[in-house]
A = this chain, B = another copy of it.
Amino acid sequence: MSKNLVPVGLSNRHLHVSREHLDVLFGEGFELTNFKDLSQPGQYATNEKVDIVGSKGTLKGVRILGPTRKETQIEVSLTDGFVLGVKPPVRDSGDLNDSPGVTIVGPKGEVVLEKGVIAAARHIHMHTSDAEKFGVKDKDIVSVKVGGKRGLVFDNVLVRVNPEYALEMHVDIDEGNCAQIKNGDTLEVIK
């Protein structure tokens, strides 16, 4: 049987913003501008950056990903959390209940968030055809093996299946450095 391989993308700190918050940060009616398309269809890194201010420190120049979303969500590593002075819970995207807040500083204004800072739980995006080939379905939990001197097996990896997705595993910078993974490395999904 052939191995089930998945390419990796390292997620650096970034945020998704609501239409309402974008108005405050960059001015009424401002439109995000595309810096670079991401591997997930329709998603893009923008040219727009903001500062994220916590009780202990600031992360300067954090990039906004587009398009706008229903709710503003800031995704940082636990290392970033220490810099800010917040404890981001490890969460799936969109699950912001009881997550800490911070202040977002844009060129035209500031937003004081009550919640929205998370450390993204590692996950794999799969097109429907990949899921069929891998023998998994949406919301399955799988393990993923990394080789080498810092080899390990990531457990609790969430699978998200959608006809709009491209095959890619997302981990954050702490996870990438822990396992010595580079962007585009190919890992084996095991069950």
Q: Which residues of A does B touch, CB under 8 Å?
A: 77-79, 90, 121-122, 148-156, 173-175, 177-180
Contacts and interface: CB of A to CB of B under 8 A. Distances in A.
A150 B79 contact: no
Contact of A79 (B79, B90, B148): B79
Do most interface residues of chain A lie in helix, strand or loop, or is the interface mixed?
mixed
26 contacts: A77-B177, A78-B177, A78-B180, A79-B79, A79-B173, A79-B174, A79-B177, A90-B149, A90-B150, A90-B180, A122-B150, A148-B156, A149-B156, A151-B155, A151-B156, A152-B152, A152-B153, A152-B154, A152-B155, A153-B153, A153-B155, A174-B174, A174-B177, A174-B178, A177-B178, A178-B178
Contact of A150 (B148, B150, B151, B156): B156
Nearest to A78: B177
Nearest to A91: B149
A154 B78 CA distance: 19
Contacts of A155: 151-153
B180 A178 contact: no
Contacts of A156: 148-151
A176 to B, nearest CB: 8
Contacts of A177: 77-79, 174, 178
